[in-house]
Chain A
Amino acid sequence: ETGVTQTPRHLVMGMTNKKSLKCEQHLGHNAMYWYKQSAKKPLELMFVYSLEERVENNSVPSRFSPECPNSSHLFLHLHTLQPEDSALYLCASSQGGGTAARDTQYFGPGTRLTVL
């Protein structure tokens, strides 16, 4: 595997279900991100982890719970979601830490989530 991978690619869940999205990066990066992409809206940054510590949480409802067990893996745990949470959830990683003049974020293919 190369780059950033995400599983599952598609997920349909009911409002009472609990599920998790997984992201893995194979780039040796130190920072990982969750974004939400809803129809006709700009990408919304949800969470940022740097060296496995959460450094940003953009007022995301508590029904979304991130977890970063190590610098290569990032999870998004979902419970009691609402239909308006249906969206494409994108994971990204970057070198982070201000070590490069151009610290580019590289994205995974996303998980398309539908909440019924």
Chain B
Amino acid sequence: AQKITQTQPGMFVQEKEAVTLDCTYDTSDPSYGLFWYKQPSSGEMIFLIYQGSYDQQNATEGRYSLNFQKARKSANLVISASQLGDSAMYFCAMREGQYGGATNKLIFGTGTLLAVQP
């Protein structure tokens, strides 16, 4: 069965430093997609970055990059040059079937609360 594990309930990082948020996943499907979302205290889930299981390179989006290690089944999010506005909950999610489908079902982890300190 699909499963997403985020082992860090909470993390602190100093402003302007880099931080890595861990995510491991379990699936028997060779085709899947991995997502990271940010949820500020306002509640909205904001899409950050996507990695497909067949993508040859690690995904990057601005200050966000995904450290994808397929053999280890890990998809860690790296945030470079942290800013105060990065303080939020971060969720890792997985979808089986890289090319989506009618339901596009996402499985979410329990999240990591990141606090950026000045």
Contact = CB atoms under 8 A, between A and B. Distances in A.
Please determine whether chains A and B interact with each other in the same assembly: yes
Interface of A: 31, 40-43, 45, 48, 50, 55-56, 88, 90, 92, 94-110, 112
Given A42-B108, A101-B98, A102-B33, A108 B44 contact: yes
Nearest to A99: B100
22 contacts: A48-B104, A55-B102, A56-B103, A56-B105, A90-B45, A96-B102, A97-B101, A97-B102, A99-B100, A101-B52, A102-B33, A102-B50, A102-B52, A102-B100, A103-B33, A103-B100, A107-B44, A107-B45, A109-B42, A109-B43, A109-B44, A110-B44
A106 B108 CA distance: 14
Interface of B: 4, 33, 35, 37, 42-47, 50, 52, 91, 95, 97-111
Contacts of B108: 42-43
Given A101-B52, A104-B35, A31 B47 contact: no
Contact of B45 (A40, A48, A92): A92
Contacts of A42: 4, 107-111
Given A43-B91, A107-B44, A110-B43, A96 B100 contact: yes
Contacts of B104: 31, 48, 94, 96, 103, 105
B44 A31 contact: no
Contacts of B111: 42
Contacts of A90: 43, 45
Given A43-B91, A90-B45, A112-B43, A98 B99 contact: yes
